[in-house]
Amino acid sequence: MNEHVGSGAEPDQTSADSQRESDAQLRGVIDEYMSTFQPEPEDTAGVRERILQLVRDDLYRGPSTNLQTEQGHPFSISTASVRSIVRNAVDSVDGIRARSVDVEPAGDPEGSAATVSLTVAMRAGISFAPTAEAIRRSVSAEVLAELGIPAARIDINAEDVYVD
């Protein structure tokens, strides 16, 4: 369904208008902040545009999950990518299909591990307990291989059964 039907504006125009409005709001916030501490003009050259570009880049990338390498270096990866990694690991287990996936930073320090919660659909006739252990092994191995962090906890909820 086209969300722009009846708006009288083309999708590209609506997107451009939305970006201009966001830019104007951000400029207002930046100007208000800048007026409170009165930096020298040479210190502000390009600051507004750099901040706006960072915000645009973040919006373009979408929601991110913040994690840390085993050496303690923080990094950010799109949440969609993390979910895709987990879904692929779940789907590799015979008779299982991933449904919803949620990955949250965990560990000490925060982000040095991950907590995974997921729902699955199971093929009729599969025993849940041994299959859940196979899912945990697969997800744990994939998260460690792809993200370089361990899965501290993997919660699985079977919410549907299907017949091939």
Tell whether the model's pLDDT for residue 42 goes beyond 90.
no
pLDDT digits (tens, 9 = 90+) for 99-115: 999 999 999 888 999 99
Shared domain for 45 and 115, answered yes or no, is no
> Do 122 and 45 reside in the same domain of the chain?
no
121 and 42, same structural domain?
no
Helices 47-61/11-37 angle, 10° precision = 140
Residue type present at position 20: R
Looking at the structure, tell me whether residues 27 and 103 fall in a common domain.
Answer: no
pLDDT(13) > 50: yes
What does the pLDDT read at residue 6? 41
Looking at the domain assignment, is residue 86 inside a domain? yes
Domain count of the fold of the chain: 2
Angle at 147 between CA 78 and CA 80, to 5 degrees: 25
Answer whether residue 27 is part of any domain.
yes
Does residue 27 share a domain with residue 72?
Answer: no
- pLDDT of 72: 81
Q: Residue range 116-123: average pLDDT? A: 96
Query: Region 112-135: what's the mean pLDDT?
Result: 95
Report whether pLDDT(22) > 50.
Answer: yes
Are the C-beta atoms of 55 and 49 separated by less than 8 Å? no
Range of the domain at 87: 65-162
Alpha carbons 22 and 137: distance in angstroms, whole number? 44
Q: Which of 144, 143, 79, 68 is nearest to 106 (CA)?
A: 68
Pairing of strands 151-162, 113-123: parallel
> Do residues 54 and 79 share a domain?
no
Q: How many C-alpha atoms does 92 have within 13 Å on its Cβ side?
A: 15
d(CA 101, CA 98): 8
Does residue 147 fall inside a structural domain?
yes
Query: So what's the pLDDT on residue 146?
Result: 92
Is pLDDT larger for residue 111 or for residue 52?
Answer: 111
Does residue 117 sit in the same domain as residue 39?
no
Look up the CATH number of the domain holding residue 153: 3.30.70.1350
Would you place residue 8 in the very low, low, confident or very high pLDDT band (cuts 50, 70, 90)?
very low
**Has residue 18 got a pLDDT over 50?**
yes
Mean of all residue pLDDT scores within the chain: 81
How far is Cα 27 from Cα 48, in angstroms, rounded to an integer?
A: 7
* Average pLDDT value for residue range 79-85: 92
